[in-house]
Amino acid sequence: MIDTQELIEALHYIKKFRNQVFIIKFSGEILLDENVLESIATDLVLLHDVGIRPVVMHGAGTLISSNMEKMGLEPRFIRGERVTDERTLDVVVGCLHRVNNKIIDKINHNTAIASDTATAVGLTGGLFKAKRKRKELGYVGDVVDVNSKLIYDLIGCGYIPVILPVGIDEEGNLLNINADIATGELAKALDVTKIILLTNVGGVLGRDGRLIGRLTVSETRDLIKNKVATKGMIPKLESSVNAISEGVERIHIVRAGKHAILGELLTEEGTGTMITK
Amino acid sequence: MIDTQELIEALHYIKKFRNQVFIIKFSGEILLDENVLESIATDLVLLHDVGIRPVVMHGAGTLISSNMEKMGLEPRFIRGERVTDERTLDVVVGCLHRVNNKIIDKINHNTAIASDTATAVGLTGGLFKAKRKRKELGYVGDVVDVNSKLIYDLIGCGYIPVILPVGIDEEGNLLNINADIATGELAKALDVTKIILLTNVGGVLGRDGRLIGRLTVSETRDLIKNKVATKGMIPKLESSVNAISEGVERIHIVRAGKHAILGELLTEEGTGTMITK
Amino acid sequence: MIDTQELIEALHYIKKFRNQVFIIKFSGEILLDENVLESIATDLVLLHDVGIRPVVMHGAGTLISSNMEKMGLEPRFIRGERVTDERTLDVVVGCLHRVNNKIIDKINHNTAIASDTATAVGLTGGLFKAKRKRKELGYVGDVVDVNSKLIYDLIGCGYIPVILPVGIDEEGNLLNINADIATGELAKALDVTKIILLTNVGGVLGRDGRLIGRLTVSETRDLIKNKVATKGMIPKLESSVNAISEGVERIHIVRAGKHAILGELLTEEGTGTMITK
Amino acid sequence: MIDTQELIEALHYIKKFRNQVFIIKFSGEILLDENVLESIATDLVLLHDVGIRPVVMHGAGTLISSNMEKMGLEPRFIRGERVTDERTLDVVVGCLHRVNNKIIDKINHNTAIASDTATAVGLTGGLFKAKRKRKELGYVGDVVDVNSKLIYDLIGCGYIPVILPVGIDEEGNLLNINADIATGELAKALDVTKIILLTNVGGVLGRDGRLIGRLTVSETRDLIKNKVATKGMIPKLESSVNAISEGVERIHIVRAGKHAILGELLTEEGTGTMITK
Amino acid sequence: MIDTQELIEALHYIKKFRNQVFIIKFSGEILLDENVLESIATDLVLLHDVGIRPVVMHGAGTLISSNMEKMGLEPRFIRGERVTDERTLDVVVGCLHRVNNKIIDKINHNTAIASDTATAVGLTGGLFKAKRKRKELGYVGDVVDVNSKLIYDLIGCGYIPVILPVGIDEEGNLLNINADIATGELAKALDVTKIILLTNVGGVLGRDGRLIGRLTVSETRDLIKNKVATKGMIPKLESSVNAISEGVERIHIVRAGKHAILGELLTEEGTGTMITK
Amino acid sequence: MIDTQELIEALHYIKKFRNQVFIIKFSGEILLDENVLESIATDLVLLHDVGIRPVVMHGAGTLISSNMEKMGLEPRFIRGERVTDERTLDVVVGCLHRVNNKIIDKINHNTAIASDTATAVGLTGGLFKAKRKRKELGYVGDVVDVNSKLIYDLIGCGYIPVILPVGIDEEGNLLNINADIATGELAKALDVTKIILLTNVGGVLGRDGRLIGRLTVSETRDLIKNKVATKGMIPKLESSVNAISEGVERIHIVRAGKHAILGELLTEEGTGTMITK
């Protein structure tokens, strides 16, 4: 028989989160596991159908590197950010676009549940104004401004926005933006209080290689400074620190297992690492 | 860890039942157990808070008989219906009113959860037009008409109506109505598809004394005709047969344990007896 | 031919009072005269139909005492308030409920005029939070809080609320509230400027036994202090003093004759006693 | 003391006529008596303030003839209609305009009652499309079309339209329209069920010189054919016959005494002549 | 091929002026040229149809003088204002009414374009409260108050108001108001930023007889003081000075040629004289 | 001075096209000329600002071929459609995405006019469901379904959708769709009556090399069958034939000169080739 205590808990969260916007960030790696992706898409549709408003942000890291190699291009990174020359940019955008459509497709044609109201929609542009970062990174940018009205309009019409991290600068150049950083900026712009970063790691590991359950902002800064955090984790932690300093209350770094979002949002027990003020 | 399958199931039902009206009928007996009452009130508030619209109907059987005895009146029944003379009527109405306020109070001052939106409201009249049944029953009536607009107005304003089964006839006499029958009539008038009858028995027992899981209308008729059903169960079964013939799809006769409504509405596994067409 | 001056006057009042809420309090005694009750119900329907919003509060004094005696219980009063033990409470609630339904029935099935819009509705609970008065009174309470939203929701849906003076305390006990005091509290909570107290006396009598046309609050206090007012009149005067100190502008104590409300609201000439600041 | 029966009657009519449109037609003669005009303006404001929607139509007969004479023009009539050459037309329009403003002014600056909502508004044109009658009448027209939307827009914004009977033909010529005929056409276009024709006569007189209380359409036709009706009465009767054949239910020809409209609309007893089907 | 620059310019103005109210004042003289009148009516309909809200004010100068003479009355002016005795007033009102209907007719039955939404409507009264000017002018008034709500209600319902300059004083006298002055007062009351005065002159001429393109308020005052301006131009200039001091930004005095309004509102190049602060 | 006839014509079209949706299809080639692009973006903003609803569809032909070559991939076409293997698809999507952002950027940061309301938005997916064409074309698809609600939602929120021709099939594969064909399908789905195809050619050339002004559907079919039309023109003509057979009334194939859209939509004289039924 059902554990009613858990059900009551879930109902509390459903009520509490009704009409709230959350950002769910998908790391590129996790998109490779069809079962997990399908299961997470199911979560998004279910949450949407009971009145919660998810916004999806994603990267395409693994795919980009692999496709670059097929094209004879060598992936290079500086402090966790991809060096992006003009040819690389085409591959980056092409791969992000593919991944974006894959997520949209999983949500819109979910085989586990048939929703008549949840429709995912992807945006190519008009969302991030950006400016170039250090020259050596090439076409890589920082977010300068976010068109949050556009996202709220889409949410208001009942859509689940699925966003890829590409911006445009003053000269009209397309710029590759680190997905974790874009997530933080989007959260600030949308006045979102909770971000879920879905990874294939499932949390921040300490010096001893064990998962850290909770981190304050200052502890997180230490992890970055002391180079305990891995390369891929650095932008996640940096953007988390930044987002929290701008008003986001909680960031959950969670392993992308089956129904990971549902478990994270509708139950009390956390998994992975929660970063707070 | 949470059983996500159950959670997903619950989310499906929440979506399916959003804005639907259900009638929950409380037998008088079950109102004596404070813990169960508190737990069921919690269920009602939770369901209301995620968008489901419960309407409560109740009797006060046990309390009426006990208070009658205190007043020196002897309770009498004919075919499960209380013989109601003028003095008895005062006790009936007084007890129903008390029980009504007790339920309202449990909902409005629920200690388990604090809702800022769920408010129960009781109605003395203006709801049921009735006409007298057989003379020997005294002031006992059948429902002739239900002011369903009043219930929908209250639901539309966000209230949980808590209804006691008293009507008024053409001459202005107050009439005691069997709560199970009133439940069936209310269900028809509100165009409700599902009724939950909360009892202290928990379902219909067969000739062998074992719980019957499912009954069709014709099987139910047989149980009545063959006098397998107990006296208190007869009006429940009769009104169920009647309600289903008028369009109600499912009637669940359920034992009023802790969180019985939640379990019944949001999980697949039924408890007690389900009567269908 | 019609006295157009009076008609013009009436039109002025209809315009002035459009959409205003008035509380009409029925003393229990007056409910015994079917003709008067019918005529007053007609007034309420007419006022409602031209856009005025009456709220009815009532007691059931005479009926309660008489039914108590039938049950072998002896009515007792302290300073005009009924001593209410548990058994008495059942009779109180039963009688109030009956009276409530009688008023509703007179309004909803008025024989003098057929209204398609005026529907009376009675409320058992969810309206008054109360706390016990002096222990010696038993289950008798003072109003602590009024759910005015509920009344306004019902008025907004076009109903005429008919309210009986029963509240519930923190422990969930039903408490008998003096109807005049409940009237004053309701008036404050609804921000009503005018109360009409319909009695079988028709105003406050002075030391010389003659009707007093107007009273200020301080004169009223003197009447209470000097014990000029009769026992039944004391709660009326006390709640009037209280209500006026909380913002109610005018309280009219009026004899419940035929069309007494219409005459009082739509003509300049007052009858009975008007209490003002 | 007030005659409550009359008050109840008046309330019935107020409810019945709420939001209904009535056409009140002022004969030119009655506009000369300031007291009557003031009193009728009061009636209009009062009716408007309790939710009835009066539309005023007026002529200016007496004033036109008198001003024509001042200008050295001789008034001439054919079958009750004024022969209108170009110079006469200026006087007709000028006088109608003056009378129109006088009525508006009486309503808007009523000294008997101050309304904050009733505002009269006069219309010069855009209302009646007309075509010329017999050539010998000059610039005299029949109504071909009425812009009823314009009247309903003004009523919907809370105005009392005051209309003068001038139309325009296909060539753009201004045409003088008989006010009684214009009244009938307006009534048909607005789908009005009741017209009040205020005259200085106060009803139709029979062959014996006595007032006729009720007339059917066929009796009215006889009066016209047999030349019992006076010249000024003919267009009133003709337009009445016409209006009734087009769906207007009742036309009251009433003497324009003090508060004549109030008495006519809100009491049962009629004055003057009522013409029905 | 089209001059796209002009089209772009026009689109800019259409966007800028969307939902803005402009007053177009027609001098009486220009109403005599059917072709110009037709063309200007076309402009009004076109502007209305793309969302601009024109209000028309007009005089009837030439027609009044000519009709007065037909009636044997001699037109007299003091400082550009017509001396108006009682008989003159009838002619004034009659002529204004005719002109008003002519403009309405041109708009509503425009032969150049068929609009299904633009409907002109004329107002006789309820618009200007006035008080008498110097006694020697007779029934000539200054505007004391404007019922701007009436105009906005009509605009809100989609009408093009066509207004004639007649007011009413405290005693109920009709007063002739100079149309240019009424235009200025209307502009202030409606909070309009732009007035177009259509004349048969086409601008203010300087001492050398040449058109002055732009004038400030102080330059305009000098022209009046130094009697450079012609008699007919004086009220135009005075009301312009007044209107600008009350917040109107721009007044254009323009020759009433074909499509003069369209050219003035939707192109950059001005014609005639623009008066600004 | 302005040619008022043209202005009047433009106003007519603005009124006629208010709130109508048009599809403007940009050929990839024309996107290379910054001046033309800027000027067309200006047109879109202007049209949007006066209430017309443009939807932009675009290809990226020239850029794709050039970037493929940089990547060492050889562009190949079959009957005007690009053979698209997996690596080519990344370049196709990357280039379309770039072009999409370029158009959005030109609209949103238009230097010629500053609009506070026109915002372009690009969509990655959720728009076209597709299925594979002939296997030899690789990842090239036909449109099976269009999510027209998404486009209407965006238009309803005031956006200018800028759409790139990529769809997704049942298996979740991204498919390259010919932009002209996608335009036709979009037009049918949106129930659009007019399509403008902006090309660098400016119309269909006949056998004699001269521009053909008008074509019927059957004439167009002949041109295709007889191989008079050039390779790049074939999909344009085929999708035009298809779109017209589905209800699109007019397709304009127009040279993408400065302000080409404005000239095409708001003037009578056409440029290029118009294809009709």
Instruction: Find the helix or strand (DSSP H, E) in which F90 lies.
Output: helix F86-108
Chain F CA closest to residue E10? F7
Q: How far apart are CA E209 and CA A147, in angstroms?
A: 58
pLDDT at F57: 96
Structure tokens at D9: 């009657």
Q: Does position A90 have pLDDT exceeding 70, yes or no?
A: yes
Does the beta carbon of D38 lie under 8 angstroms from any beta carbon of chain E?
no
Q: How far apart are CA C46 and CA C26, in angstroms?
A: 17
- Residue A57 contacts residue A165 (beta carbons within 8 Å): yes
Inter-chain CB proximity C262 and D42 less than 8 Å: no
Q: Which residues of C touch D4 (CB under 8 A)?
A: 258-259, 262-263
Structure tokens at C38: 């019918």
pLDDT band, very low/low/confident/very high, at E270 (cuts 50, 70, 90): low
Q: Which residues of D touch E68 (CB under 8 A)?
A: none
Q: Does position F2 have pLDDT exceeding 60, yes or no?
A: no
pLDDT in tens, B159-173: 999 999 999 998 889
Of the candidates B71, B100, B174, the beta carbon closest to that of C101 is on B174
Q: Which residue's structure tokens are 């006045």?
A: A191
Burial of C174-191, coded b for 16+ CB within 10 Å and e otherwise, reads bbbbbbbbbbbbbbbbbe
Does the beta carbon of B166 lie under 8 angstroms from any beta carbon of chain C?
yes
CA-CA-CA-CA torsion for F41, F46, F47, F49, nearest 10 degrees?
Answer: 120
pLDDT in tens, A97-109: 999 999 999 999 8
E5 three-class SS: helix
- Residue E228 contacts residue E206 (beta carbons within 8 Å): yes
Q: How far apart are CA C155 and CA C22, in angstroms?
A: 11
Cβ-Cβ contacts under 8 Å for B124 (sequence gap 6 or more)? B97, B164, B166, C97, C100, C101, C104, C122, C123, C124, C162, C164
- The residue count for chain F: 277
Q: Does position F1 have pLDDT exceeding 70, yes or no?
A: no
Percent of chain F exceeding pLDDT 90 equals 48
Inter-chain CB proximity F7 and E49 less than 8 Å: no
Q: Given a contact as 3+ CB pairs under 8 Å, which chains touch F? A: A, E
- Residue A240 contacts residue A178 (beta carbons within 8 Å): no
Q: How far apart are CA E259 and CA E46, in angstroms?
A: 11
Low-confidence winner among D198-212, E111-125, E144-158, E162-176 (lowest mean pLDDT): E111-125
CA-CA-CA-CA torsion for F226, F230, F232, F237, nearest 10 degrees?
Answer: -40
Mean per-residue pLDDT of chain A = 88
pLDDT at D1: 44
Q: Does position A229 have pLDDT exceeding 90, yes or no?
A: no
Q: How far apart are CA C154 and CA C141, in angstroms?
A: 25
Q: How far apart are CA A182 and CA A166, in angstroms?
A: 9
Q: Could you tell me where the beta strands, DSSP code E, fall in chain C?
A: 21-26, 53-58, 77-78, 81-82, 119-125, 128-132, 141-146, 159-163, 166-168, 174-176, 194-199, 204-205, 211-212, 214-216, 250-255, 273-276
pLDDT in tens, E55-67: 999 999 889 999 9
pLDDT at E124: 82
Q: How far apart are CA A188 and CA A146, in angstroms?
A: 9
Of the candidates A15, A113, A267, the beta carbon closest to that of B2 is on A267
Q: What is the CA radius of gyration of chain A?
A: 18
Q: How far apart are CA B51 and CA A18, in angstroms?
A: 10
Burial grade of A221 (CB within 10 A; 0-12, 13-18, 19 or more):
middle
Calculate mean pLDDT across residues C10-31.
88
**Among B103, B104, B91, residue whose Cα is nearest residue B174:** B91
- Residue F204 contacts residue F223 (beta carbons within 8 Å): yes
A255 three-class SS: strand
Structure tokens at A50: 């009971």
pLDDT at C270: 64
D41 three-class SS: helix
Cβ-Cβ contacts under 8 Å for D36 (sequence gap 6 or more)? D30, D256, D257, D258, D260
A51 φ, ψ to 5°? 105, 0
Residue D82's DSSP bridge partners are: D77
Other Cβ atoms less than 10 A from the Cβ of A5: the count is 10
A74 alpha carbon, distance to own chain's centre: 25
Cβ-Cβ contacts under 8 Å for C177 (sequence gap 6 or more)? C128, C130, C140, C141, C142, C143, C165, C166, C167
Q: Taking phi first (over 0 means left), then psi (-120 to 50 degrees means alpha), and beta for anything else, what does residue B25 get? A: beta
Walk along chain D (277 residues) in steps of 10 and give the mean pLDDT of each run: 75 90 87 85 91 94 90 88 91 93 90 75 88 94 93 93 94 90 92 89 82 91 86 82 86 87 81 86
> Which chain F residues in 103-142 lie under 8 Å from chain E, judged by CB atoms?
113
Which DSSP state fits E51?
T
Chain E CA closest to residue D174? E98
Residue B141's DSSP bridge partners are: B132
Does the beta carbon of D15 lie under 8 angstroms from any beta carbon of chain C?
yes
Judging contact as 3 or more Cβ pairs under 8 Å, the answer for C and F is no
Q: How far apart are CA D242 and CA D60, in angstroms?
A: 22
Cβ-Cβ contacts under 8 Å for E170 (sequence gap 6 or more)? D109, E131
- Residue B8 contacts residue A50 (beta carbons within 8 Å): no
pLDDT in tens, B264-277: 888 877 678 899 99
Residue of E38, E98, E127 for testing the chain D interface, max D β-carbons within 10 Å: E98
- Residue D14 contacts residue D231 (beta carbons within 8 Å): no
Structure tokens at B135: 């003379």
C8 three-class SS: helix
Q: How far apart are CA A206 and CA A223, in angstroms?
A: 8
Identity of the highest mean pLDDT range in A195-204, C55-64, C260-269: C55-64
Q: Could you tell me where the beta strands, DSSP code E, fall in chain E?
A: 21-26, 53-58, 77-78, 81-82, 119-125, 128-132, 141-146, 159-163, 166-168, 174-176, 194-199, 204-205, 211-212, 214-216, 250-255, 273-276
Q: Which residues of D touch E105 (CB under 8 A)?
A: 125, 168, 172
Structure tokens at E47: 């502007």
Low-confidence winner among A188-202, D251-265, E226-240 (lowest mean pLDDT): E226-240
Does the beta carbon of D12 lie under 8 angstroms from any beta carbon of chain C?
yes
Q: Which residues of C touch B95 (CB under 8 A)?
A: 90
Of the candidates E6, E11, E42, the beta carbon closest to that of F2 is on E6
Does the beta carbon of D267 lie under 8 angstroms from any beta carbon of chain E?
no
Percent of chain A exceeding pLDDT 90 equals 47
Q: How far apart are CA D80 and CA D83, in angstroms?
A: 9
Mean per-residue pLDDT of chain E = 88
Low-confidence winner among A11-20, A187-196, C159-168, D253-262 (lowest mean pLDDT): D253-262
pLDDT in tens, B91-148: 999 999 999 999 999 998 886 776 777 789 998 877 999 999 999 999 999 999 999 9
Q: Which amino acid is at D19?
A: N
Cβ-Cβ contacts under 8 Å for A59 (sequence gap 6 or more)? A25, A26, A27, A28, A96, A99, A165, A178, A179, A180
Residue of D98, D115, D168 for testing the chain E interface, max E β-carbons within 10 Å: D98
Low-confidence winner among A160-169, C21-30, D263-272, F116-125 (lowest mean pLDDT): D263-272
Mean per-residue pLDDT of chain C = 88
Q: Does position A1 have pLDDT exceeding 50, yes or no?
A: no
- The ipTM estimated for the assembled molecules is 0.87
Q: How far apart are CA D86 and CA B23, in angstroms?
A: 79
A178 φ, ψ to 5°? -60, 130
pLDDT in tens, E7-48: 888 888 998 998 999 999 998 777 778 888 898 999 999 999
Q: How far is C142 from chain D (nearest CA, A)?
A: 38
Q: How far apart are CA C249 and CA C95, in angstroms?
A: 32
Q: How far apart are CA E104 and CA E41, in angstroms?
A: 9
* CATH code, E202: 3.40.1160.10
The residue that leads in pLDDT, E107 or A230, is E107
D185 three-class SS: helix
Q: Which residues of D touch E125 (CB under 8 A)?
A: 97, 100-101, 104-105, 120-122, 162
Please count the structural domains in chain D: 1
Q: Which residues of E touch F18 (CB under 8 A)?
A: 50
Structure tokens at A230: 């891995």
Q: Which amino acid is at E268?
A: E
Q: How far is B21 from chain A (nearest CA, A)?
A: 17
Of the candidates F67, F71, F164, the beta carbon closest to that of A124 is on F164
The residue that leads in pLDDT, C79 or E49, is E49
Q: How far is E167 from chain D (nearest CA, A)?
A: 9
pLDDT at E193: 84
Largest CA distance in chain B: 62
Structure tokens at D96: 């109608």
Q: Does position E1 have pLDDT exceeding 50, yes or no?
A: no
Inter-chain CB proximity A46 and B4 less than 8 Å: no
Does the beta carbon of B1 lie under 8 angstroms from any beta carbon of chain A?
yes
Structure tokens at C77: 């009063």
F66 alpha carbon, distance to own chain's centre: 21
Other Cβ atoms less than 10 A from the Cβ of A63: the count is 22
Whether pTM exceeds 0.80: yes
Burial grade of D242 (CB within 10 A; 0-12, 13-18, 19 or more):
middle
Q: E227 lies in which domain range?
A: 4-276
Does the beta carbon of A154 lie under 8 angstroms from any beta carbon of chain B?
no
